[in-house]
Amino acid sequence: MRLFDNLWLKRHSAVKSPHSGWHIQDPASQRLTWNKPPKSVLIIKKIRDASLLQPFKELCIFLTQQKNMIVYVERKIIEDPAIAIESFVSLKKKICTFREDYDDISNCVDFIICLGGDGTLLYASSLFQESVPPVMAFHLGSLGFLTPFKFDTYQSQVTQVIEGNAAVILRSRLEVKVMKKNREKESVEEISLVTNGDKTMHYQVLNEVVVDRGPSSYLSNVDLFLDGHLITTVQGDGVIVSTPTGSTAYAVAAGASMIHPNVPAIMITPICPHSLSFRPIVVPAGVELKITLSHDARNMAWVSLDGRKRQEIAYGDSITITTSCFPVPSICFRDPVNDWFESLAQCLHWNVRKKQSHLSSEEEEF
């Protein structure tokens, strides 16, 4: 069994990895432990950000020289002209590189370190279409809702993770399948959102699937099915189908509630619906959602997944969405509950208000 196979369906069982030997215990504690010390790490760095060059270099030196670990980095990061300077030459010789969509490193990496903002965690998720190694995200970007670690103390924090002293939260993902009608042969074929239709595959989404009206000035008009039953037709700018993790992203900006990542659910949020009664809803994680273009729609629709892989949806096409069996194990700074509320307070300023003053004895009489 590969990393995290059927984890979402077997959350009350210990999950083990034959490659690195780590496992996650009962979800009540969700502690990361290792059966044997991790040997390899993937570093995801925000590209074209000069402020990250020094932290990236320090981290690589620390992992290769002090921890004797194998470090994987995407080739386009190493090919950055800013890293081609003399001080990086000796370091580059100790790093293994890979190319997105070409090299499979899913069985090579024990855990992941992200340097940047929330986008680095989303990108790390996109690299693994099945099991995802544990992810440790450092806040070196702008918002930082999903990046709880500060780089100032990276050596002690990384050491704790390597020693297995860390809490983990399992962030559910959505498994998305796009069915494109073959208009030449009048048949339906399954295409991949990653390989431009070359073969069949599912796409894993951490935040949200967005279906919108694209460049058209007309309302989006799409049908929404749940477990095969038509539940509504969305007439507006579009609809967002999000995970609990994604509920604090685009969905909350569109008026949705915020859901803790430990809650097994899928959120459906309309974007500027032309209806006063169309409110966001939460459905169980086990349902299957399907979105198609309505037969009387005036224009095509567009779909994007975690802000990427955007493409047009025409008549006869469909988007099927279910909860994935492959969540993202995100390493916590403290624990899943405290980290989430800390992010709400620090990043979104949740419930920030000037305190009401108390009444004096004279005022109470009135």
CA distance 37 to 49: 32
DSSP code string of 296-321: T-SS-EEEEETTEEEEEE-TT-EEEE
Burial of 7 (0-12, 13-18, 19+ CB in 10 A): buried
Order of strands across the sheet that contains 308-313: 281-284, 265-271, 238-242, 208-212, 301-305, 308-313
| CB-facing half-sphere around the CA of 222: CA atoms within 13 A | 32
Active site residues: 118
Using alpha carbons only, how large is the chain's radius of gyration in Å? Answer: 23
Neighbouring C-beta atoms of residue 36, cutoff 10 Å: 10
Nearest to 122 by CA among 346, 304, 354, 321: 304
Pair of tokens at residue 158: 């990384």
